[in-house]
Structure 1
C-alpha cells in the first residue's frame, strides 16, 4: 500500500483507538517499522498526530495527553534544552521547578550543581533531585494530582508566595503564534502565574511540538519570560517579537543553527 493510502488510514485508526503503535502499523500494512516511523513523522510535522514512545496519539485541544506518553515525546530535544537551561543556572542559586516532563529533564541536568535550593510543586522533580546531596529541596504543598505528581491549588499558591527565588524554570502545554503560554488545568495556571511573579528571572523550557497544540487557559506571554529554550526556530514573526520584548531564545539540539 502506498503512503497516500496509508496516511488517511493511520489517522482513522488513531481516531478510533486513541493511539497507534509502530509495530502494530508495520504488521497491519506489511511494511518496515522504518517506513511507519517516516509516516508518523510526516503526520506529526503536519500537526495531525503527536509522536509518543513507540507510536503516536491524536493532538489534544481541551485535554492533555497522558503523562507517561508525554514523557516519551521528544526526549532527546528535552535533554538538550535541559542542559542548555542548566548552564544558565549558577551554583549557590535558588530555583523553582514546576510541573512537567521538560522541568523533570532540567532537574536531571542539575544533579551535579552544588549548593542549590530547589523549590518545586512536582513530586517527580523532588525524587530526581534526592540524588544530589548538595541540593536542599522544598516541596510546595497542595492537592496532589495523581496523574503526574503535581501539587496544585490555593495551598500551593500560598506556599510559593513565601519565597522570592533567583530562577523559575517552567513548562507549558501549548504556545500560540502570539507568544502566549497555554495550559489545560486552570489550577495549574494560577500556580504558574504565581511562580512567575515570585521569580527574579523566568526560564521557559518547551519543545517546538507545543506550537502544534492548543490549550484553553492562558498562563502568560513570552514577554514575561527572560529566556526561552526550545529545539526549533520559532514560527512567523515570533523571533522578532521576542527580540523586541527582550526575551532571549536559545535553539538547542538538532534544530540549533
Structure 2
C-alpha cells in the first residue's frame, strides 16, 4: 500500500522525535482526529509505527533505532536530564559513564567540573571530556562498535571490575512499567550490569519516551539504583514502587 503525502510526513516526524500524538498531528495538518487515527492505523498495519494511547511511536522489537537518529530525538529533554544529573556529581569524584545519547549529554554537562576521574566504555564520552583539562579519562578495552563508539565484551567487563567509583551513570533502551531496564544487545547488557555492581551510587538517565518502547533483554530493576533522572513524572504505580525501593526520582526542570 502506497503512503500518501501526509502519512510520509507523519512518519518523518515520528523518526525525528520517536513519538507522535493524534491531537498534535490533527492540529498540524488541519484534519479531523479520526483522519489521523486512520493514518496511524495504516502505518501500524505496515509495521512502520506502533500504536500507543493517544498516538504512535517508532516500532520496538529486536533491534534499536540508529544511533544518529537517537541522538536527535528528545534533545531538549536529554539536556535537562543531563543538567539535573550532573548537578548531583560533585567535583573531586569518580564516575563511570556507559553507552547512550543521554549519557553523552551528561558528559557535556560535566565539562566544567573539576578533578573528576571518568571511566567509560563510550568513545564519544571520552572525546567530549578530553576537553576538560582537570578531568582524568580512562577508556575501557574491548570490541569497538563502529555504529555508536561503544566498547563491549569480556575485556570491557574485566576493566570495569578494577574500579569502585563514587557514581555510575547509565542509560537504557526501554523502561518497562514494572521498573525493569531493557536493552537490545546482550554484550551491552552485561557491561551495564557490571558497571552498576561496581558503583557506590548508580544513576539512570532516561526520557520517558522509553516507556513506550520495548526490548528483549533485561539489564536490572530500578530497585538497584540510587536515583532516576527523567523529564516528566513516572506513572503512579512505578512511582509507588520507587518509594518502596527507596529509589529517588528526580524530574528535570
TM-score band by shorter chain is: 0.7 to 0.9
Partner of 2:144: 144
For 2:131 and 2:15, locate their aligned partners in 1 and report how far apart those are by CA, in whole Å: 36
SS in 2 for 1:237: helix
TM-score normalised by L of structure 2: 0.82
For 1:223 and 1:240, locate their aligned partners in 2 and report how far apart those are by CA, in whole Å: 12
Partner of 1:48: 56
Partner of 2:186: 186
For 1:36 and 1:98, locate their aligned partners in 2 and report how far apart those are by CA, in whole Å: 40
1:35 matched to 2:28: yes
- String of CA shifts for 1:183-234, please: whole Å, max 9, x gaps: 0000000000000100000000000100000000000000001000001111
- Residue correspondences, number: 225
- Asked if the contact 1:94–1:116 (Cα under 8 Å) also holds between the matched residues in 2, the reply is yes
Per the TM alignment, residue 6 of structure 1 is displaced from its structure 2 partner at its CA by 8.2
C-alpha RMSD of matched pairs (Å)? 2.8
SS in 1 for 2:168: strand
- Asked if the contact 1:203–1:227 (Cα under 8 Å) also holds between the matched residues in 2, the reply is yes
- Asked if the contact 2:142–2:151 (Cα under 8 Å) also holds between the matched residues in 1, the reply is yes
Partner of 1:128: 128
- String of CA shifts for 1:155-186, please: whole Å, max 9, x gaps: 10001001111000000000000000000000
Partner of 1:70: 70
Change (3 A) 1:156 1:36: farther
Partner of 2:217: 217
- Report 1:198-213 matches (<5 A): 198-213=198-213
1:104 matched to 2:136: no
Per the TM alignment, residue 45 of structure 1 is displaced from its structure 2 partner at its CA by 7.0
For 1:85 and 1:37, locate their aligned partners in 2 and report how far apart those are by CA, in whole Å: 39
- Asked if the contact 2:16–2:69 (Cα under 8 Å) also holds between the matched residues in 1, the reply is no
Give the gaps of 5 or more residues in structure 2: 18-24, 41-50
Ranges of 4+ aligned residues in structure 1 off by more than 3 Å: 19-22, 36-39, 42-47
- String of CA shifts for 1:54-92, please: whole Å, max 9, x gaps: xxxx33221100000000111011001101101100100
